[in-house]
Structure 1
Amino acid sequence: MTKITDLDAQTQLELEAAAFRRLLAHLDERKDAQNIDLMNLAGFCRNCLSKWYAAAAEEKGINIDYDEARERVYGMPYSEWKAKHQQPASAEQLAAFDNKSKG
């Protein structure tokens, strides 16, 4: 069995890319998992992934703006996703978010 420490850089890159694609597919399947829930539980959300994607592109000298990155992560323009799938945050969700950001 191959150990992760034995992987060449290209194989590691391919595995990481596959895992990222699977994460995006999973989030697409779980539209019920609202961004505020992700932030409260994991400390990141779809918007964070979008920012990380755009930042990684910038590091490579590729000009991908935040809206383009969000479209990649959300699978559609953000405004469309928001209209179709984003629910208003509950008082409990907002309180949990506020407590996390103060901590």
Structure 2
Amino acid sequence: MTELSKEQRTELEAAAFRRLVEHLRTRSDVQNIDLMNLAGFCRNCLSNWYREAAESSSIPMTKEESREIIYGVPYEEWRERHQKDASAEQKAAFERNRPTE
């Protein structure tokens, strides 16, 4: 296994994160509920993790700001353009797979 410095690891993780975010932005056909049902996280989860990381570094950030960073546009704009009503099947799958905290 290649030995990475802490800086290299951080740079690679950041590059992978940026690619994931860009991928999610281009795949607006994939709904958040589908992501939740398949992977247990969605764009909103990612934006929450981003905000939590900012706050742990003493960088104030609102929920709306972190969502815009992940979605690439204000969240309400993304919802209007791309979000569809969840089907009964999607909702049932979500309830079966809902994370317990």
Tell me if both proteins adopt one fold, taking TM over 0.5 as the criterion.
Answer: yes
TM-score scaled to structure 1, two decimals?
0.93
Equivalence for 2:83: 86
Letter of the structure 1 residue corresponding to residue 60 of structure 2 = N
Equivalence for 1:40: 37
Equivalence for 2:94: 97
Give identity over the alignment, percent. 57
Equivalence for 1:26: 23
Equivalence for 2:70: 73
- Contact 2:40-2:99 at 8 Å conserved across structures: no
Equivalence for 1:60: 57
What's the offset of the Cα at 1:20?
0.4
What's the offset of the Cα at 1:29?
1.1
**Residue aligned with 1:70, SS:** helix
The structure showing larger relative contact order (alpha-carbon pairs under 8 Å, at least 6 residues apart) is 2
Letter of the structure 1 residue corresponding to residue 6 of structure 2 = A
TM-score scaled to structure 2, two decimals?
0.95
The runs of 5 or more residues in structure 2 that have no matched partner are none
Equivalence for 1:15: 12
**Segments of 4+ moved more than 2 angstroms:** none
**Residue aligned with 1:31, SS:** coil
Letter of the structure 2 residue corresponding to residue 79 of structure 1 = E
- Number of residue pairs matched by the alignment: 100
Paired with 2:37 and 2:70, the residues of 1 have a C-alpha distance of 19
What's the offset of the Cα at 1:102?
7.3
